[in-house]
Structure formats: C-alpha cells, structure tokens
Amino acid sequence: MTKARKKILILFLLFIPASTAFAVHFAVLEYEGCYNQKTQAVDIMPIITKGELNENDYKTLFYQTGLGRAAIDPLLSDKKNGCINILRFQSRFLSKIEVKSEFIFPTTKSEYLKSGENLLVSVKDGYILVTKACHTLGWRHGHAAIVTDAASEQTLESILIGSNSEYQTLEKWRHHPTVIILKPKGLTDEQLKAAAEYAKQSLNNIPYDLFAGFAKPKDKKNAAVKGTQCSHLVWKAYERYGINIDSTGGLFVTPRDIALSPELEVVQIIGVNPDDIW
C-alpha cells in the first residue's frame, strides 16, 4: 500500500467515529431541546368559571395551559368562547411533542413539529417571540423576533449570516416545538406599538452581524444600527425607550438572555418547562 493510500485510509478511519459522534451529539441536542409536560391534566372549569381569579388560580392555569395572566384575562373576557378556548390550549399544551430538524445553514439546524401546529394566543404589536429550536455546532442559541403588525401576523427578524433583517410571519412559529411569547411589564398597548414602529423604521433591512454588541458595544444610544442579529434587533427595539431586556447586562445579548429578563412577563410558553423556561 502506498503512503498516499495509507493517509486516505487513516483519514477515513478517523472520519467514521468523528461523524458518528457528531450525529449522536446532534441527536441528543435535539432530544433535550423540547420539553414534554409532566403535569397531569386536571379539571380547570371550576377555576375559569369562578369569576375573579387569585394568584394560585393563575399559577394552576399556567401549568395546565402554558398561558400567563396576559393571555388568560383576554380569553376570559370573551364570555361566549373564552372557556372553550382555554380548554383547547390545555389539551394542546399537555399533548406529546415530537420533533424533526432541518439544516438552515451548513452548520445550523432548526427544529420543527413532526405533525400538527401550535395553538398561539392573539399577539399584539411589540410582543416578543423566542424559540430554543435553533442550534449551531452544539450551541443551542435559539432565535428571537418582534411582532411589528399583529393584524397581519407580521414579525421582524434577523435570521442568517449573509442576509438582511426582514419581515416574516407567525406561521413558522406555529411549527417550532418550543415557543416563548413575552411582553415588557407595565407598558401600554400604545408604548408596545411605538417599539414595533421604531423596529419597522430603523431595524428593517439591516445586514446580519453575528458580533453585534460583542465586538462592538451594543448600547450606543440613538446611533444608527449598521448590523444586527436576532436578539440584538429585539433588544434594540426596547433599549431606545430605556428598557434593557438583556437579563445578563453584558455586551452580547442572546435569545436566552431575553427569555430570562425580569423586565418581561410570559404571555405563553410551548414545549418548555414552566419551572425553568431556559
């Protein structure tokens, strides 16, 4: 056997365990990415028909439906269909989730439901969407977006290296196995709409910059944004109004930092642990 063939054989023998380990790692990563609820279904009709709810009632409903107070109250205001719809959320939330994944970039995969679709609450302009479904080379970084026109289900997102931020829709969020919908605490609908409007005017069609806020400081107030990534875009929409939704306060903001921000309240969760959303 020639030296050249020996080298090829050695490389081939090294490639097999390396590729196997990589495949196993991806499989484990995807298995850990989605949480099937351990809570057993209980009869929530006595709660949702009682009238005024207390904190324990909202907590029970959160564990049974994945809905926070910001979602429960509007549903209950619908006297005709509110209770029925909450029961639908309960059924879907406690159902088993099965996941498939697809490459969206040579090093990045995104996860989707194998069948069916998520039941999402009605969102408002300025609401924030976060998913754990995206991972690159072993790092589950997730993805984030901001709702810019709830009426048309429009979102603004920074998605991939080599592309500019662009308008998307809620449709793909109905197919991610993990979804966290958030809203800043204490803001009026008008203030939420103002953040969404700023995002449309100043954060659309911005080149993707993986290091936005890392190699370059992220907090240059009122400076024109020349590069962004998904969570930086969402963070910037509220930073302009003095709200820092980065839970770590570091130079670099991630979807996880946003999901865990004390400045935000949970509207809805899907496929994540209510006790530990990330």
What does the alpha-carbon distance between residue 120 and residue 180 come to, in Å, rounded to a whole number? 10
Residues 58, 190 within the same domain? no
Assign residue 134 the CATH number of its domain.
Answer: 3.90.1720.10
Per-residue pLDDT of 8-26, as tens digits, reads: 444 434 434 433 334 444 4
Containing domain of residue 53, as a range?
Answer: 45-93
Per-residue pLDDT of 32-74, as tens digits, reads: 679 999 999 999 999 999 989 999 999 999 999 999 999 999 9
What is the number of domains present in the chain?
A: 2
Residues 66, 144 within the same domain? no
**What is the rounded average pLDDT of the residues 235-244?**
94
Residues 78, 149 within the same domain? no
Whether residue 200 lies inside any domain: the answer is yes
Q: What is the mean pLDDT of the chain?
A: 89
Instruction: Give the contacts of 143 (CB within 8 A, at least 6 positions apart).
Output: 110, 130, 131, 133, 134, 157, 159, 230, 255
Whether residue 19 lies inside any domain: the answer is no
Whether residue 276 lies inside any domain: the answer is no
Residues 249, 185 within the same domain? yes
Residues 139, 190 within the same domain? yes
* 117 has a pLDDT exceeding 60: yes
End of a domain among 55, 75, 93? 93
Residues 148, 200 within the same domain? yes
End of a domain among 61, 93, 125? 93
- Which pTM value belongs to this model? 0.88
Whether residue 150 lies inside any domain: the answer is yes
The dihedral region occupied by 66, where left means phi > 0, alpha psi between -120 and 50, and beta the remainder, is left
**What is the rounded average pLDDT of the residues 182-198?**
97
